[in-house]
Amino acid sequence: MAVLDEKTQSKLRTLFAEIRHPVKLLMFTQAEGGALECTMCSETRTLVEELGSLGENIEVEIRDLVADADLARKYEVDKLSAIAILGEGTPAKDAGIRFYGIPSGYEFSSLIETILMVGREDHGLGTAALEALRKLKTPAHIQVYVTPT
């Protein structure tokens, strides 16, 4: 059963047609479909698979956090559900962006924008922001938490 209504699907197909570089949505869940599956993992998986069906340059890969622990460590995923956004390349280029939990509400539009930015290879940052980033001497780890309440 579709998560997104037909109007939203149509809009996303149009947006995703602009993607020129492959994007992989690497989702981690646990005990897929079983009693151990995390809260909202099933819904998140359905949404991610549906997004993958709406764009020819969007690939979806579903993995188990425990069974694929080495891969999860590689992408520094330690919570469920998790979506790692990967760009073009072999192996896929890690965009360093993760979504934890179901990306609904405001997070949904953030996920779509992220897919588009990675697929266009256009971060959208201005000159001043790029200059400030060049001045960083050590890696930065930024986490943004969003809650509907």
Domains (range + CATH), the chain: 6-134 (3.40.30.10)
Please, which pLDDT band fits residue 91 given cuts at 50, 70 and 90? confident
Mean pLDDT of 94-119: 93
H helix runs in the chain, sequence order: 6-16, 41-53, 69-74, 106-120, 127-134
Annotate 107-148 with three-state secondary structure: HHHHHHHHHHHHHHCCCCCCHHHHHHHHCCCCCCCCCCCCCC
Report the alpha-carbon angle 110-56-107, nearest 5.
Answer: 10
CA dihedral over 68, 53, 41, 74, signed as positive or negative: positive
Whether residue 93 is predicted with pLDDT greater than 80 in this model: the reply is yes
Distance CA 105, CA 63 (A): 24
Token pair, residue 46, equals 């359905």
Tell me what the mean pLDDT of segment 91-106 comes to: 90
Query: Nearest CA to 81 among 43, 115, 107?
Result: 43
pLDDT bracket for residue 120 (50, 70, 90): very high
